[in-house]
Amino acid sequence: MMQQITGNIEIRNEQPSDYRTVEELTRKAFWNVYIPGCYEHYLVHTMRDHPDFVPELAFVLTVDGAIVGDVMFTKAKLTDENDEIKQVLTLGPIAIHPDYQHMGLGKKLIAHSLERAKHLGFDTVVLMGDPQNYVGAGFKSAMRYDVSIGRHQYMTALLLKELQPHCLAGHAWHFHSSPIMDVDPAVADEFDQTFEPLEKKWQPSQETFYIISRSFMAQ
């Protein structure tokens, strides 16, 4: 059963004064979830200066003025069978503070940002993630849209949402993420030293992530 939240909820664009708070929040949300520790807060830090970053789609969600959620988007591309390029968006990272998870705030933040993305003229959003976390927000397997990572390899974790119906119809697509997603673990670990120490440890969600992120769907 989803918990109910009390307090005034607001979604607004991220401001420079929010940067460190957003990085700390992202770190807390992802710590030990997918690997011992995490790199998502470093990714958030570096994304802002990358040309693929879309600042208009960087949002924070507040409860009574305190930031408890954030989401960011980068530009990516699809290429079809004729090597024609289509610009799309990649959603992520998206983070909700551990104390506010399972309250519907992530879904609310996604809905708000996707509506804004549609208003800006984007028609397709792709993400890499656990399907059970995103199908409720309207994302489906990228395989349904014939979007692969090459040679008809359909990743289980590759999900997609059309903001304009049938905008991908009639083509076979290959997804190319932004180079910003290629994180150097050594540099990320050095950046992490600027935060308060947290214990790195193993937990079952890391094995789940290992399985999902390396599995493919059969045609």
- Sorted by where each starts, the structural domains of the chain and their CATH numbers stand as 9-178 (3.40.630.30)
Q: What is the pTM of this model?
A: 0.94
Q: What is the pLDDT of residue 117?
A: 98
Q: What is the pLDDT of residue 7?
A: 87
CA 72 to chain centre: 7
Ranges under pLDDT 70 in the chain = 1-3
Residue 98 C-beta-side C-alpha neighbours within 13 Å: 8
Looking at residue 137, the DSSP 8-state letter turns out to be G
Q: What is the pLDDT of residue 150?
A: 85
Please count the helices (runs of H) and the strands (runs of E) in the chain: 5, 11
Give the C-alpha separation, 54 to 74, whole Å: 6
Neighbours of 130 (CB within 10 A): 16
Q: What is the pLDDT of residue 219?
A: 79
Q: What is the pLDDT of residue 1?
A: 44
Q: What is the pLDDT of residue 171?
A: 96
